[in-house]
Amino acid sequence: MSEKQFTSEEALAKKEAENTIKNYSRVANMLVDGYPDLLPQEKWLYVCLVRLCGKEGTRFLSLRYISERTGFSIGALSACKKTGSPGMLKRLHEAGLIHAEIKKMIDNKGNETKNAQFHVTITDIW
């Protein structure tokens, strides 16, 4: 691992620690009783995203990072063109629990980086 990658991951971890809600994350009870079309795994992903987005409720996250932090595979998180499956993130977006859109990242020189990230915003369902 290069020093630049380590520094980037270290900075990301520090920012996450600053924005994390200490010791617990709150989710609405209606998540449990409502949303009958969502699978339990998708509801758990929502809880994990609430934790990852922290107090601000919004954050840029790569699929790889979400996968590493939640335990869900990248394939389960993203849409599959072969099967037509929308993926867990898209299903949460369609249910109105999150707003997720893919954003290209721009480096210091104004060029697009290789990997796009999801800009995830937790929707206030209360």
Beta pairing partners, 61: 118
User: Which one is predicted more confidently, 34 or 81?
Assistant: 34
The predicted-structure confidence for 46-83, as pLDDT tens digits, reads as follows 999 998 888 888 998 989 999 999 999 999 998 877 77
The predicted-structure confidence for 103-126, as pLDDT tens digits, reads as follows 887 778 888 877 778 889 998 766
Q: How many CA atoms lie within 13 A of 70 on its CB side?
A: 27
- pTM of whole model > 0.85? no
What secondary structure does DSSP assign to 56-82, as a single string?
TTEEEE-HHHHHHHH---HHHHS--TT
Report the C-alpha gap between 94 and 108 in whole angstroms: 34
Residue 63's Cβ-count burial label (10 Å; 0-12, 13-18, 19+) is: buried
